[in-house]
Amino acid sequence: MPPEPPQTDPHGRRSLRLAGRALVVIAAAALIGLLVYGVLTQAPDTTIDDSLAAGQTIPAPTFDLEILQPGDPTGRLAAALTAPMRDGRLALHELRGTPVVLNFWASWCVPCRDEAPLLQHAWRRLARPRGVLLLGLDMQDVREDARAFIREFAISYPNIRDPTNTIARRYGATGIPETFFISAAGNVVGHVIGVVTRKQLVDGIQAAIDGRPFGAKIGGDQRPTR
C-alpha cells in the first residue's frame, strides 16, 4: 500500500499565521516609534518664540560647554568670568547676574561672515562698556576652522563650542546665525533670526539690561543647521 500522506495540523498553521502577523505589527510599530523619535529629537523647540510672541520672558535653556576663546572682557565682566572660566568650560548658570547676548554661528556659514564685524563692533562699543556679555556659540564646526575664523575677523569677545546642534535645538534655532538676548536673571527676552542688524543689537542689549521682552525678530540671511 502507498504510504499515507502526512497529516497537517490546521491549528498549527493558524498559530503560525497569527505569530507572523503579530511580528509584522510589532515591526511596524517599532518603525513608527523610531520615526516619531527622530522627528521629535530633530525638531527645534518653539517654546522661546511662543513665549516672546505672548510678550513674556522665559528661562534660557542651560548649557555647559568648552571655551573656544576667553576673549577680552574688562571691568565687571572680567570679574564675573574669571572664576567660571578656570576649568576651560562655561555654564549658563555661572553667568547669572550678567546680561548676555548669545550668538550662534559657524565658520562654514557665509552670513556669519557678514555679521562678524558688526558683532565685534557691538562688543567693543555697545555691550562690553555696559557690562553686557557678548558670547559666541560656535556649533557643528571643526575647532581649528572656528579659531581661524576668530583670527580672521579679530573677534575678541568670548566664544564657546558645541560640536553638535544640541544647544541650538534647545533654543529653537533652525539656522545660523541666530541671536538670543538674555537678562541678568537668566531669562530670554529677545531673539533675532538671521544676521542681526545694528538697531536690533541696540534694542536687544537694552532689553537684556532692563529684563523686558524684546520679542522675536527677523534679521538678514542665514543658513540651515547641518
Under DSSP, is residue 196 helix (H, G, I), strand (E, B) or coil? coil
The bridge status of strand 133-139 relative to strand 159-162 is parallel
- The residue among 91, 110, 111 whose CA lies nearest residue 102 is 91
pTM to 2 decimal places: 0.81
Residues 6+ apart with CB under 8 A from 183: 57, 99, 189, 207, 208, 209, 210, 211
Phi, psi angles (nearest 5°) of residue 17: -60, -45
Whole-number pLDDT of residue 9 = 56
Whole-number pLDDT of residue 33 = 41
- Spatial separation of the C-alpha atoms in residues 44 and 28, rounded to whole Å: 26
Query: pLDDT (tens digit, 9 = 90+) per residue, 74-102?
Result: 999 999 999 999 999 999 999 999 999 99
Grid coordinates of 56: 513674556
- Spatial separation of the C-alpha atoms in residues 39 and 35, rounded to whole Å: 6
Query: pLDDT (tens digit, 9 = 90+) per residue, 36-73?
Result: 334 334 455 689 999 999 999 999 999 999 999 999 99
- Spatial separation of the C-alpha atoms in residues 214 and 207, rounded to whole Å: 6
Whole-number pLDDT of residue 2 = 53
